Structure 1
Amino acid sequence: MPKTVDELLPDQLLERIRGRAAGYDAANSFFDEDLADLAGAGYLKMLVPEAEGGLGWSLLQATRAQTRLASAAPATALAVNMHLVWTGVARVLAERGDGSMAFVLEEAGRGEVFGFGVSEAGNDHVLFDSRTVAQPLADGSYSFTGAKVFTSLSPAWTRLGVFGRDDTGTAPQLVWAFVDRQAPGYRIKEDWNTLGMRASQSNTTLLEGVVARPERVFRKLPVGPNPDLLVFGIFACFEILLSSVYAGIGRRAVDLAVENSHRRQSLKSGRSYAQDPDIRRRVAEAAMAMDGIYPQVDGLASDVDNRVDHGSQWFAKLAGLKVRTTETAKQVVEQAVRVSGGAGYFRGGELERLYRDVLAGLYHPSDDESAHSTVANAWLGPLED
């Protein structure tokens, strides 16, 4: 059983995955072969306890694995993230005495793949309200009707985590549940034709009365912000694991900048561009920027693992990490493009693909505006009426 990231993702496997990334991107196709290789290596079970058939890894170890995977295939890593978020949330809850999602770890240990059907177009409340209708049924199950966007792993998930709003009681509540792939009542639109992160195949999922069985309904929360452990678990695992993917993109961009600087020759000087002072400064700036990101991702992941109490600052720290990492990765990729010459503008090159992939970081929650609002509230208090 692999004990380190390098054992879980050895160079040979990583290069095989890297070698397929351009083809998936060009064909706008799902990463079937990557997923099979990763599943065979036990990658999808890294956060599952050993007693349940997993690797028993920490969130810190998972983030480092995701950074390494993303350095080879960002879209593959981003999609796998959604499965890891759910297993991570189940771990966060279990380690704090809440067994309501124990079945997620059990089923992930048996090979089930979990998708993330949470995002909704125009829902800027994100986790605190929903446009999806959750209708209670007589046996305790719920039917869900609505549209979920950016549903990564669309071709492969076997369990889809969803939430919706139930307005049938005295007060509205948000209902969280998992639906099975074989259940009737949903459609997957094959509408993922995007600028980047194409292999993730994060298609829109139309919920048309799909039913979650009673034992799969694992949370009911009031509408609006609340301190429930589930909300913390989702936000923490999502933001930290997401940041690890973009840290991997930035890391690879620095590597390519170094490689291309040595490869390119100046006709004027007769030497490689690695000897050009302006190029050297750009590469140095990129490397220094990324060196400031890795310890922050590690630090917050370790804090979750060790149950550090940041109190009201937790959400500010997590939102800040996501924005800082995605923005830094974008700037670092641009520096790599600037030092690598005009060949990088042609389709099919790795750096050209990274340039498109890294832009997806702008769209993940928390977005720049929301993150700054969260941080301002944490430090200054809420706006006065």
Structure 2
Amino acid sequence: MTSPDHRSPFDPASVLPDALLERFRKRAAQHDSDNTFPHDDLADLRDAGYLALFAPTELGGAGLGLAEVSLLQQRLATAAPATALAINMHLVWTGVAKALADRGVDDLRFVLEGAVAGEVFAFGISEAGNDLVLFGSDTDAAPQPDGSYAFTGTKIFTSLAPVWTQLGLHGLDTTSPDGPKMVYTFVPRSEEDAGRIVTRDDWNTLGMRATQSRTTQLRGAVASADRVVRRIPPGPNPDPIVFGIFSVFEILLASVYTGIARRALDVAVETVGTRRSKKTGLTYSQDPDIRWRIADMALAYDALPPQLATLSRDIDILVDHGPRWFSLLSGVKHRAVTMAKAVVDDAILVAGGSSYFAGSELSRLYRDVLAGMFHPSDPESAHSTVATAWLGPVAG
């Protein structure tokens, strides 16, 4: 694999060759229909070194940066969006570990070592009704005499639910003398913790079904003292873990939905090249209205890959955008998901009535792309962040 410091272009097909993508694409429909987790996809990704993409070569990883992983996630999402979204959550934590290490903070080295060893990390941040996201938590983090923490609360949208081995999460410590503190840590999944970490079998959704992002109930789940990586005040915070999570999360989410848009555009192009008008005898690729619509889709899609490349590379090479970072990152995620939905909508129109059938790939992409609006930053949060960046905070 190519090092992120190497100046020759990175080729995502070196990690995800066409034959592998085609296997993912064939399985995706079945996992969507059956509402099952893609264990076979995960096995193939593990064999391809995907779990350790961000780990440095000296640890046995691929040594890639966010710019290269963004390209890989765009490519994977063209074949199996739900698989890409699921593995995103593992890549978020490993990407955060790399981003912190690049900035001189080695507290998450064990995450990179664990990824090389085969650990699967899940993202336990989302909570129902918690629009504070990284700045607050309804999960109780109770300090223990030995420095460990016991977590009690409910996490939602826990992707990789059937397979994760380590759950990265946060909770609020309200009892320590220096509290309140947001506590970031990792808890393992083990037989001993079976009663303290309960995964509900409740994932029955419109789209992104193969992610199996089930609800996780924490009932005194214990994180050992050596896995408590951050204790920071609640609310907006300049701590590098906040920037690390926000930046990697937003870039990789935007990458997945940009990949969905690319696949929808490709399918639309293929379809109009074979559909033929009874009226003119010509393929629909010669129809001026269809050509305009395809061009409009391409114009929208073409804007996103360069933005992702620039922002992810800026994170890799430690460019300092200061307070603008949050508006740039929430903005690119928002643009990616709105663009992707518009492109899929148009692909459905140009492909015709066959795309309305559940077995159609475009039908599945249509359902999958809807999930984008629910991930942070949601449209309201993105607009608020960007408005503050340009206009300042609301007076009062």
Using the size of structure 1 for normalisation, the TM-score is 0.99
1:232 aligns with: 243
Aligned ranges for residues 1-385 of structure 1 at < 5 Å?
A: 1=1, 4-170=11-177, 171-182=179-190, 183-184=192-193, 185-385=196-396
Residues 234-271 of structure 1 deviation map (CA, whole Å, 9 limit, x = unaligned): 00000000100001000001101101101111111111
Whole-Å Cα distance in 2 between the matches of residues 21 and 193 of structure 1? 16
Whole-Å Cα distance in 1 between the matches of residues 306 and 11 of structure 2? 18
Residues 253-293 of structure 1 deviation map (CA, whole Å, 9 limit, x = unaligned): 11011011011111111111111111011000001110011
Residues 286-310 of structure 1 deviation map (CA, whole Å, 9 limit, x = unaligned): 0111001110111100000011110
Deviation of 1:44 (Å): 1.3
Unpaired runs of at least 5, structure 1: none
- What SS does structure 2 have at the residue aligned with 1:120? coil
- What SS does structure 1 have at the residue aligned with 2:238? coil
* Code of the aligned partner of 2:49: G
* Code of the aligned partner of 1:359: L
- What SS does structure 2 have at the residue aligned with 1:127? helix
- What SS does structure 1 have at the residue aligned with 2:22? helix
Deviation of 1:109 (Å): 1.0
Residues 68-98 of structure 1 deviation map (CA, whole Å, 9 limit, x = unaligned): 0000000000000000000000000001100
- What SS does structure 2 have at the residue aligned with 1:135? strand
2:151–2:219 contact (8 Å) kept in structure 1:
yes
Deviation of 1:231 (Å): 0.2
Whole-Å Cα distance in 2 between the matches of residues 39 and 315 of structure 1? 32
Deviation of 1:169 (Å): 2.4
Deviation of 1:21 (Å): 0.2
Whole-Å Cα distance in 2 between the matches of residues 301 and 288 of structure 1? 21
Whole-Å Cα distance in 2 between the matches of residues 79 and 199 of structure 1? 8
* Code of the aligned partner of 1:29: T
Deviation of 1:368 (Å): 0.4
Kindly tell me the number of residue pairs found equivalent between the two proteins.
Answer: 385
Whole-Å Cα distance in 2 between the matches of residues 261 and 18 of structure 1? 21
Whole-Å Cα distance in 1 between the matches of residues 79 and 55 of structure 2? 24
- What SS does structure 2 have at the residue aligned with 1:57? coil
Deviation of 1:375 (Å): 0.7
Deviation of 1:4 (Å): 3.4
Whole-Å Cα distance in 2 between the matches of residues 106 and 131 of structure 1? 30
- What SS does structure 2 have at the residue aligned with 1:162? strand
* Code of the aligned partner of 2:210: A
Residues 318-370 of structure 1 deviation map (CA, whole Å, 9 limit, x = unaligned): 00001000000000000100100101000111000000000000100000000
Deviation of 1:374 (Å): 0.6
- What SS does structure 2 have at the residue aligned with 1:289? helix
- Fraction of identical pairs, as percent: 58
Runs of 4+ in structure 1 off by over 3 angstroms are 1-4
* Code of the aligned partner of 1:374: T
Deviation of 1:5 (Å): 1.3
- What SS does structure 1 have at the residue aligned with 2:127? coil
Deviation of 1:53 (Å): 1.0
* Code of the aligned partner of 2:349: R
* Code of the aligned partner of 1:124: D
Q: How large is the Cα RMSD of the aligned pairs?
A: 0.9
More moved, 229-238 vs 1-10: 1-10
Residues 84-122 of structure 1 deviation map (CA, whole Å, 9 limit, x = unaligned): 000000000001100111110111111111000110000
Whole-Å Cα distance in 1 between the matches of residues 392 and 147 of structure 2? 40
Whole-Å Cα distance in 2 between the matches of residues 9 and 231 of structure 1? 30
